[in-house]
Amino acid sequence: MKIRNFVTGAVVAAAVAATAACGSDDSGSDLPPVPTAEASSSAAAGGTSSSSDPMTDSSSVPNVKELNGLLEKALDPKVKPAEKTDLVEGSEVDPKLFDQLVKAAKDNPDVTYKIKPPVTKNGPNKAKVKVEVKLPDNPAQKIDAAIVFDQGRWKLSKSTVCPLLSANDVKTPLCADDSSSSTAKSSKKKSS
């Protein structure tokens, strides 16, 4: 079913956006870069984040190249799910979620996705970006994705991920208390 494949593609795109959320914008935008785990540890210990690591710098947004690199990490079956929880806000409650994203990408090899510039600031510790999803025999679609600076690094917002997962009937503790899940279900019912 085309809708199901599109939603699966959107879920994969969300993973891509999550991965991409860790870079700085090469388009000249003034968005903050994405933090790294090392910088996060330093910040958590009361230190300042390293200005050389865009993943941990809340003063600027990540770039598209770095975000696409994170996408690759999110979908890499060789990377353990626990090592991916720094990609999506709140995903430490369900690291196995990334196994589902890897499976979705493997089951839909003809679906392509790419983070597109620009990355734009969208309030304090928030940014937005477009993810281009291409399904077989369909024109490319651009999906909005939110990025947040959370726990010392840039991550894909749970408000982006949960509606996509819910629309694809993926159950996860990540979205258990998220009202956006019910919004996605009502949108899905209206479009049916």
Token pair belonging to 152? 């010392």
Question: Per DSSP, what are the bridge partners of residue 148?
Answer: 126, 155
Q: pTM of the entire structure?
A: 0.66
Give me the helix-helix angle, 158-167 and 2-20, nearest 10°: 160
- pLDDT given for residue 83 in this prediction: 92
Question: Per-residue DSSP letters for 106-149?
Answer: HH-TT-EEEEEEEEEE-STTEEEEEEEEE-TTS--EEEEEEEEE
Token pair belonging to 129? 């970006």
- pLDDT given for residue 9 in this prediction: 52
d(CA 12, CA 164): 9
Per run of 10 residues, the mean pLDDT along the chain (length 192 residues) is 49 47 38 35 39 79 87 89 92 92 87 89 92 91 92 90 78 75 42 46
